[in-house]
């Protein structure tokens, strides 16, 4: 199983078999840490952290030192030439010529993908805005596997900021792929983003059951849930009985409670959602006796310090295991170690969504996306996938934000015929007839009209004639 020269930008870049093989190598390295020195002799890691970090940065750098390689680093974008207006692509090209592997953390969603596209060496995403943090997920899965021996069939509750928590986005997808049941308990307004929900339900084929009226959170009560995800590989009879399932889930506890902090840095200053603190009182029930308490850290107020001595608490172990996991990852991507075949082989489970082909001036509506930043628009061509037709949904190829353009036209119908340059509401019956390869989308009527299209109600007769032809 060869991972050499590959990138890890999203958790979908590794198959389940590759992840298991990496865990096996991390076990070996952990058991003989002193013997790994020299494995990466002569290799250089570029450690670029343009958002604060303690664990990820220092565990990557410790991992490379333990492998006998060197580290060059930048941890303040203001002290690099990005501050002078250099593009991420230029930075990536240059750093790729100095280093053998790059780890990047950046506030813009999709930035790691741009670095991977231009660096020419393996690139690891150490967190890109609120998008993904795949190596944290490797540490989380590794801890779950070590403590519970399996991932399949585990029941994991995700707690807190599920909207902006990038660790949760990578983890939810990985847990789904490994056949875990996931219970979602977001703070108010902090539910999972649409693209993660779509991946869970469409790409991993599971069932997501939402609880419309979960009721009031009572003091000292872990649940109610917002939603429960059930994978097809572990059919769950409870999911067939939505009215009772969450009550039953409440009684049977969970294998792990994954707590996340509020990502204040991604919220508007006026937004102050809150959710209950996880403490001993909350977890006092017999049903939580074996529940692992996990957290990617750093914690702020959402997880009580009194949990630190509790044998169920795993968060410092998650952080500690970051070193062997990241040693194994870099050794594999640098090709100095091969992973043995474990379980399912390489091969993405990503469906082949049709690309959105036309340059209609469309921009990703996510303001945190790398593709809309002024410095990057000089060279980055927006890229989208058509992930659903009803309702019409496009996904930005950089930040994976899913959105619903309001207006559409067909290139097929208007080609060569100015009288048929017609646009439609994306929800109209006419829109549904457009093949993905002929789709032209507009964010607004103003934009459609600026591009020379007229609304269908103005030239309905001409349009209907063309439709019949």
Interacting positions 55-84 with ligand CP (CB under 6 A) = 55-57
Segment contacting ligand CP (CB under 6 A): 69-77, 295-303, 305-313, 434-442? 295-303
What whole-number distance in Å separates Cα of residue 174 and Cα of residue 134?
A: 9
Q: Please, are residues 282 and 250 in contact by the beta-carbon 8 Å criterion?
A: no
Question: Which of 298, 361, 391, 452 forms a contact with ligand CP (CB under 6 A)?
Answer: 298
> Residue 319 CB, nearest distance to ligand CP (Å)?
7
Per-residue binding letters, 303-322, with ligand CP (x by CB under 6 A): --------------------
What does residue 230 show for φ and ψ, rounded to 5 degrees?
Answer: -125, 125
> Residue 364 CB, nearest distance to ligand CP (Å)?
25
Tokens standing for 269?
């200053």
Segment contacting ligand CP (CB under 6 A): 54-62, 275-283, 299-307, 351-359? 54-62
Segment contacting ligand CP (CB under 6 A): 274-282, 294-302, 333-341, 374-382? 294-302
Closer residue to ligand CP (CB): 36 or 137:
137
Closer residue to ligand CP (CB): 220 or 298:
298
Establish if 297 lies at the interface with ligand CP (CB under 6 A): yes
Per-residue binding letters, 110-149, with ligand CP (x by CB under 6 A): -----------------x-----x--x-------------
What whole-number distance in Å separates Cα of residue 52 and Cα of residue 294?
A: 21
CB neighbours of 104 closer than 8 A, spacing ≥ 6?
Answer: 48, 49, 50, 111, 112, 115, 123, 124, 125, 126, 128
> Residue 58 CB, nearest distance to ligand CP (Å)?
8
Closer residue to ligand CP (CB): 190 or 197:
190
Question: Which of 30, 53, 371, 393 forms a contact with ligand CP (CB under 6 A)?
Answer: 53
CB neighbours of 384 closer than 8 A, spacing ≥ 6?
Answer: 355, 356, 362, 364, 394, 395, 396, 397
Closer residue to ligand CP (CB): 160 or 206:
160
Interacting positions 382-401 with ligand CP (CB under 6 A) = none
Tokens standing for 166?
């990038």
Q: Please, are residues 422 and 409 in contact by the beta-carbon 8 Å criterion?
A: yes
Closer residue to ligand CP (CB): 128 or 249:
128
What whole-number distance in Å separates Cα of residue 426 and Cα of residue 408?
A: 6
**Total residues in contact with ligand CP, by rule CB under 6 A:** 11
Closer residue to ligand CP (CB): 128 or 226:
128
Question: Which of 110, 224, 296, 405 forms a contact with ligand CP (CB under 6 A)?
Answer: 296
Q: Please, are residues 76 and 69 in contact by the beta-carbon 8 Å criterion?
A: no
What whole-number distance in Å separates Cα of residue 397 and Cα of residue 9?
A: 12
Closer residue to ligand CP (CB): 101 or 228:
101
CB neighbours of 354 closer than 8 A, spacing ≥ 6?
Answer: 385, 386, 436, 437
What distance, in Å, lies between the first and last C-alpha atoms of the chain? 53
Segment contacting ligand CP (CB under 6 A): 52-60, 70-78, 203-211, 220-228? 52-60
Establish if 198 lies at the interface with ligand CP (CB under 6 A): no
CB neighbours of 324 closer than 8 A, spacing ≥ 6?
Answer: 26, 27, 29, 30, 33, 63
Q: Please, are residues 420 and 461 in contact by the beta-carbon 8 Å criterion?
A: no
CB neighbours of 240 closer than 8 A, spacing ≥ 6?
Answer: none
Question: Which of 54, 150, 367, 465 forms a contact with ligand CP (CB under 6 A)?
Answer: 54
What whole-number distance in Å separates Cα of residue 13 and Cα of residue 177?
A: 13
> Residue 269 CB, nearest distance to ligand CP (Å)?
21
What whole-number distance in Å separates Cα of residue 330 and Cα of residue 318?
A: 18
Segment contacting ligand CP (CB under 6 A): 47-55, 144-152, 205-213, 445-453? 47-55
Per-residue binding letters, 4-43, with ligand CP (x by CB under 6 A): ----------------------------------------
Task: Name the site residues for ligand CP (rule: CB under 6 A).
Answer: 53-57, 127, 133, 136, 296-298
């Amino acid at each position: 199983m060869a991972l050499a020269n590959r990138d890890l930008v999203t958790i979908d870049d590794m198959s389940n078999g590759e992840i298991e093989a990496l865990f096996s190598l991390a076990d070996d390295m952990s058991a003989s840490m002193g013997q790994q020195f020299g494995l990466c002799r002569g290799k250089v890691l570029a450690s670029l952290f343009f958002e604060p970090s303690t664990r990820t940065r220092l565990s990557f750098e410790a991992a490379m030192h333990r492998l006998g390689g060197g580290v060059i680093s930048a941890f303040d974008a203001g002290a690099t030439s990005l501050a002078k207006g250099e593009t991420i692509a230029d930075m990536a090209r240059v750093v790729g010529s100095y280093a053998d592997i790059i780890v990047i953390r950046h506030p813009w969603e999709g930035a790691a993908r741009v670095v991977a596209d231009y660096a020419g060496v393996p690139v690891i995403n150490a967190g890109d805005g609120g998008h993904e943090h795949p190596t944290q997920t490797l540490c989380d899965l590794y801890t779950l596997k070590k403590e519970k021996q399996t991932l399949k069939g585990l029941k994991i509750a995700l707690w807190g900021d599920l909207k902006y928590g990038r660790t949760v986005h990578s983890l939810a997808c990985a847990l789904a792929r490994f056949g875990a049941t996931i219970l979602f308990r977001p703070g108010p307004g902090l539910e999972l983003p649409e693209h993660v929900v779509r991946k869970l339900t469409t790409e991993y084929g599971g069932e997501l059951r939402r609880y419309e009226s979960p009721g009031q959170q009572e003091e000292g009560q872990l649940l109610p849930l917002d939603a429960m995800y059930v994978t097809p590989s572990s059919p769950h009879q409870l999911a067939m009985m939505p009215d009772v399932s969450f009550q039953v889930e409440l009684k049977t506890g969970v294998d792990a409670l994954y707590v996340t902090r509020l990502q204040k840095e991604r919220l508007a200053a006026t937004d102050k959602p809150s959710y209950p603190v996880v403490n001993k009182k909350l977890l006092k029930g017999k049903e939580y006796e074996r529940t692992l308490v996990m957290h990617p850290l750093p914690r702020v107020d959402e997880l009580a310090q009194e949990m630190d001595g509790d044998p169920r608490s795993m968060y410092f172990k998650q952080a500690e295991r970051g070193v062997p996991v990241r040693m194994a990852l870099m050794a594999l991507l640098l090709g100095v170690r091969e992973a043995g075949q474990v379980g399912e082989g390489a091969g993405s489970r990503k469906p082949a969504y049709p690309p959105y082909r036309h340059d209609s001036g469309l921009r990703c509506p996510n303001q945190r996306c790398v593709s809309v930043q002024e410095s990057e628009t000089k060279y980055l061509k927006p890229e989208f996938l058509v992930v659903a037709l009803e309702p019409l949904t496009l996904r930005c190829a950089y930040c994976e934000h899913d959105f619903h353009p309001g207006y559409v036209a067909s290139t097929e119908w208007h080609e060569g015929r100015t009288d048929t340059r017609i646009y439609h509401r994306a929800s109209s019956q006419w829109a549904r007839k457009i093949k993905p390869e002929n789709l032209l989308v507009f964010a607004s009527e103003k934009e459609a009209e600026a591009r020379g299209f007229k609304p269908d109600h103005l030239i309905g007769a001409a349009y209907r004639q063309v439709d019949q032809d």
